[in-house]
Structure 1
Amino acid sequence: MVREFQADDLSRIMKLWLDTNIQAHDFIKKSYWQDHFGEVMEILPKASVYVYEDNGSIQGFIGLMDSYIAGIFISKDHQSRGIGSRLLHYVKGNHDELSLKVYEKNKRALDFYKREGFVVTEKQEDKENGEVEYQMAWSRNWA
């Protein structure tokens, strides 16, 4: 079930954020994610966050700042089960347009967003870590 973030979710969400980023971005030093942990923990409660929960277990979440998807994070044990799609479709139901950034080397995520109707609008370098990332966009009008 998809539901809105609650304050007592924060520690579980942050563990999921860190674990998933380290796993999905093995081309970026682990310390990069660890160094940003505190900043994200402070910002996350100010975003629109929706969690996917099953039997009291948070299996994934999506975070948005207005219509910008800051990320979709699914626990390793629950990936490829449609949870990311459910979260994304939930958000699409409330927005006419969405955008996000994804690293070029994160092929799995890039392919996922393309399947979900996102298109690459820009290619740039993440100045913090030197990795190439794509700006992607989705519009209800394109569907």
Structure 2
Amino acid sequence: MRLWLAGNVQAHGFIPEAYWHGHFEEVRKAVSQSRVYVAYAGGAAIGFIGLVDGYVAGLFVDEHSRGSGVGRRLLARAKAENSALTLQVYRQNAGAVRFYRREGFVVASEQYDEQTGQREYTMRWQREK
């Protein structure tokens, strides 16, 4: 949960930090109901991906490990086990949008998130046949 909170606060400066703190317990419960893969280095968790039936509920990497391929490897694990994946990402999170596009995701739709007042994309990836 430390990775989740820090990652959201760092990546979403356009959303008040209190929003993430307010959803902490809700997300903790949701994570326990997800399939979670964790990346470790030196015995410490440095990243994780949470999946619910082909939906990427979250992908978070420790700030000191970003850009090192951890996120790509976690996503590759999810791709290996699913023929299609979807996720939601805030439009303003340009770095994440670029990352997912590099990983083969395309924008399937755009919507307004009433809780945050932000535009977000639903992105989709499908294994080539």
Q: Which TM-score tier does this pair reach, normalised by the shorter chain? A: over 0.9
Cross-structure match for 2:58: 71
Cross-structure match for 2:82: 95
CA distances 1:67-101 after superposition (whole Å, capped 9, x unpaired): 00011100011100000000000110000000000
Matches within 5 A, 1:29-108: 29-108=16-95
- Name the SS of the counterpart of 1:28 in structure 2: coil
- Name the SS of the counterpart of 2:117 in structure 1: coil
- Name the SS of the counterpart of 1:136 in structure 2: strand
Residues in 1 aligned to 2:104 and 2:76: alpha-carbon distance in whole angstroms: 11
Structure 1 residue 43 displacement after superposition: 1.4
Residue type of the partner of 1:92? K
**TM score, norm. by length of structure 2:** 0.98
Residues in 2 aligned to 1:19 and 1:131: alpha-carbon distance in whole angstroms: 19
**TM score, norm. by length of structure 1:** 0.88
Structure 1 residue 141 displacement after superposition: 2.3
Residues in 2 aligned to 1:42 and 1:117: alpha-carbon distance in whole angstroms: 30
- Name the SS of the counterpart of 1:105 in structure 2: coil
Runs of 4+ aligned residues of structure 1 deviating over 3 Å after TM superposition are none
Instruction: Structure 2: state its 5+ residue gaps.
Output: none
Cross-structure match for 1:140: 127
When the two structures are aligned, how many residues end up with a matched partner? 129
Superposed CA RMSD in Å reads 0.8
Answer 1 or 2: which has greater helix percent.
Answer: 1
